[in-house]
Copies of this chain bind each other. A is one copy, B any other.
Amino acid sequence: MLVRVLGAGAGGGFPQWNCNCENCKAVRAGAAGFVPRTQSSLAVSSDGKAWVLLNASPDLRQQIADARALQPGPEDQKRASPIRAAVITNGDVDHMAGLINLRELQPFSIYAHRRVLNVLNGNSIFNILNAEAVPRTELELGMSTPLSGDGNDLGLTVEAFDVPGKIALYLEDENAGPDLGTDTGDTVGLKVTDQTSGVSFFYIPGCATVDDRLAQRLKGADLLFFDGTLYEDDEMIRQDLMPKTGARMGHISISGANGSIAAFSPLKVKRKIYVHINNSNPVLDDNSPERQQTEAAGWEVGYDGMEIQI
């Protein structure tokens, strides 16, 4: 099974269009140790030929242009794509809006929880994906679903499971109480398994906290891509960027007693990679102390184009 990080950035990417934080200034200036990152998405393939997107970011067109494996080959038909399916973990713009790039009547399959399909179905702009060519299939939580695309089995199964999180920003309902209208299925993690080899990995780009149920599920996993949005819960406030904590946004921080380094320390996950990294996060500076501490704790910091074979 091959996994490619299409984009390791959080919403807005790195740099973000309107952000002038020290990280964004440095990456715009081409400073040493700073690498641009597009928005949050992976691609996975059992055979290196047919690919499944895990989330579809607004940068998908650029991500396809940067990945030869996701483009039609010279000998393919006049209209063709190795992208056969897309699995969406939540309704956030950075995870779902990129589906509009996959128009043009090219057959592929969309898989998502009912809560996310409801958002797709409720926004007419996604009708650019003709439902006859692009079926939308509901993922039931805790069920292993074999993926297919354009009538072909893709050699992969996916299991979606609920993780602590929050409804998408543009769907928040301030009148619905402290959970803002969040319901089960608004944020899921994925376990992807190769049907031939039996190997699997986890993908959890958004997660508010690692509770006991999640810890038990991930214990001893071979490979994990995990929410690396913020290093510290209040870093956006301290950097004078936005008056929101990570907790308010539904994202656990990397550091601290309640952070992901601490939570995963006893779980013996063999390979752990941060993705969905916000522009404010000091781990985006290859030479920062925070980056060193993160790597010393056994984590890798994801980057666009990162490829892993398991």
Chain A interface (Cβ < 8 Å from any Cβ of B)? 11-13, 15-21, 25, 28-29, 36, 38, 58-62, 64-65, 71-72, 74, 76-81, 83, 93, 96-97, 100-106, 119, 122-128, 169-171, 239-242
Q: Chain B: which residue is nearest A130 at the CB level? A: B170
Q: In whole angstroms, what is the CA distance A105 to B171 when docked?
A: 15
Q: Chain B: which residue is nearest A60 at the CB level? A: B17
Q: Are B240 and A20 in contact (CB under 8 A)?
A: no
| Among A64, A100, A239, residue most surrounded by chain B Cβ atoms (within 10 Å) | A100
Q: In whole angstroms, what is the CA distance A104 to B255 when docked?
A: 25
Q: Chain B: which residue is nearest A128 at the CB level? A: B170
Q: Chain B: which residue is nearest A12 at the CB level? A: B104
Q: Chain B: which residue is nearest A126 at the CB level? A: B170
Q: In whole angstroms, what is the CA distance A20 to B183 when docked?
A: 42
Point out the residues of chain B lying under 8 angstroms from A171, CB to CB.
Answer: 124, 127
Q: List 28 A-B contacts (CB under 8 A).
A: A12-B104, A17-B60, A17-B61, A17-B83, A17-B106, A18-B80, A18-B102, A18-B104, A20-B74, A20-B78, A20-B79, A21-B78, A25-B74, A28-B71, A29-B74, A58-B58, A58-B61, A58-B100, A59-B61, A61-B62, A78-B241, A79-B242, A97-B125, A104-B242, A123-B124, A123-B125, A126-B170, A127-B170
